[in-house]
Structure 1
Amino acid sequence: MKRSLFTILITALFAPLMYAQTAAPASGKITYEGLRQIDFSQMRRFGPGGEANATEPSEGAPEVVNFTQKLVFAGTMAKEERDRPQGMMMRRNRSDGGPGQNGPGSSGDGNRPWRGGNGQRMTPPFEQTTFLDLANRQRIDVLTVKKDSATSQTYRTERPMPAATDWKETDKTKKIAGYLCHKATATHRKATYTVWYTTDLPFTYSPVADLTPPKGVVMQIESDNESYKATNVLVEAVAEATVQPPKEAKVVSTEEMEQIRRRGMADFRQKMMQNMPMPRN
C-alpha cells in the first residue's frame, strides 16, 4: 500500500515535466533551405513583338539556385513565407533589344520584381500567398491584384492538400533539426524523391505540396534536381491573425484564379513591351 502511494506521488510530481518535454509545439516556425537546378528549357525570352522564344543560358549564369522557405504555424492554421524567386527575373537581351528571362522560376506567383528592357525594375501586378488549414488539410491560395496605386482586389481559392504519388515507406530513420524522421520514397513529375518526415509535430505538411505524406511533417526532400531540408524548428509565440487569410478575399475556383493570374501577366508583359526602347537600325 505504501509502495503504491509512493508511486502515485512520484507520478503526480513528474508528470507535468514529462508532458512538457513531449508535448508538441502549438506555434512556431520551420525554416527550410532549398536548392534547385535551373531548367533553362522551360524559360522564355520575349522578343520585340511579344513572342516567347526558348532561351539559352547566358555566360556565367548560375546552374542552381538557393532559397529559403518558411512555415509559420499557430494552432490549426499556417502560412508559407518565401524569400526565393517567385517569377522570372527579366533582363534586356542585347541582340534584339527585348527582355529575356535569366532567373529561376518556381510557382510563378509574380512576387519578385522584373527588370524591363530599359533597365527599370517593374513589379508584377499581383502577389500570391499560401495559407494552410492544417486541421482540414486544405491549401488556401490568396491572390492580390493591384488595379492601380490605390486600389486592389483580393481573391482566394481552396483545394485539398494533394497526396504524394507512389508513397513507399522504409524502416530507416534519422534525426533532422532534433526530430526523429522516417524515410519514404515518392514520385513527383516522373522523378523519384526521397522524403524524410516526422510524426512528432501535430499536423501534416510538406514544403512541396505534391509530396505531402499521409501523416507527418516533411523535414527533408531529395531528388536529382532539387532538395529541401529543415534547418531549424523554432517554438515561439505566433499571433493567430498573421496566419489567417484575409476575410475580404473573394472566393473563386482554381480555374478562375488561374485565368485572373494569366490576364494579369498578359497585361504586365504588354506594359513591359511599351516601355522597351526601340531597337537601333
Structure 2
Amino acid sequence: MNASPSPSVPPAGSAGPDVLRTLLGRPIPALMGVLNVTPDSFSDGGEFIAPEQALARARAMIDAGVDIIDIGAESTRPYKGARPVTAEDELARLKPVLAGVVALGVPVSIDSMKAEVVAFALDQGAAIANDVWGLQRDAAMAPLVAARGVPVIVMHNRDDADPAIDIITDMKTFFLRSLDIAAKAGIARDRIVLDPGIGFGKTAEQSMTALARLREFEMFGLPILVGASRKRFIASVSPSEPKERLAGSIAAHLIAAQRGAKIIRTHDVAETLQALRVAHAIEGKQ
C-alpha cells in the first residue's frame, strides 16, 4: 500500500519551483538527463544499477551540461516487456544512490508512478516529481505533490496502442483529466509540465504525429517536455537498435524545440546540447 502524504511534512526540494522557472526562461530548452538504476530499461538497462556506476553517469552528465537529472528505478519502457516492480524494489535500488546524486548539486527529478517512492525521493532532496501516468495511476500522487509544493511532470500514457484512435484528441482528453485531478488536489498550475509521452501507448505513426502537432498543446498554457531519445519510432523510419538512434533522437528533439518544447529529456546530453545550441545560433541570424 502506498503511503499517504502528510501536509505537515516539510516540503523537500523546496527550491524546485524557482529552479524550474529559471530553466524555462532560457533561450534553448533545458536538458533533462536520463539515469536508469534498473536492470531492464529498453536502452541502458543494467548499465547504471551499481551505485558507483550511477554516480559516475550523473557526474558525466553534469560535465556535459545537464540541467536536471531524472532518476528512475522501475523500467517504464514504452513497449511490451516491462516488468512491474514493487515500491520496495524501487526503494532498494534508489537508497544506495539517490542521496549521492542529489549531493552533486543539480536538480533531481524522480521518475516513478508510485507516491510512496516519490515521497522518499523528495525527502532525500529530489526537487521534481515525474509521473509517467499523469497523476492517474496512484490516487496518492496528486495530494503528495500538492502537499510538498514541488513541480510535477504529467505524461500522457495508455495501456495499449490503438492505431484507430485520434491520438491528439486522446492526449488532450487525458491532459484535461490530469489537470482536473491536479486542481482538485491543490497543485499550483505554474508547477505543472506536460509530456506527450512519445512511444508510450502510441504507434510509431502516432508518436511522430504528436511531435509534428506539438504546438496544439499550447492550448493548456503549460510548458512541454519531450523525451524522444532512442525511441522505437526512429527505427520505423531508419532501422536501428536503441544505441544507434542518436541522429534520429536529435532530429526529433530539434523539431520539438522548434515547436515550443521547453525541456528535452535525453540519454545523450552533450550531443543534444550541441545540436540545440547550433540550431539556436543559426536561427538567430535570420
**TM-score (structure 1 length as normaliser):** 0.21
- Give the number of the structure whose residues are more often strand, by fraction: 1
- Give the number of the structure whose residues are more often helix, by fraction: 2
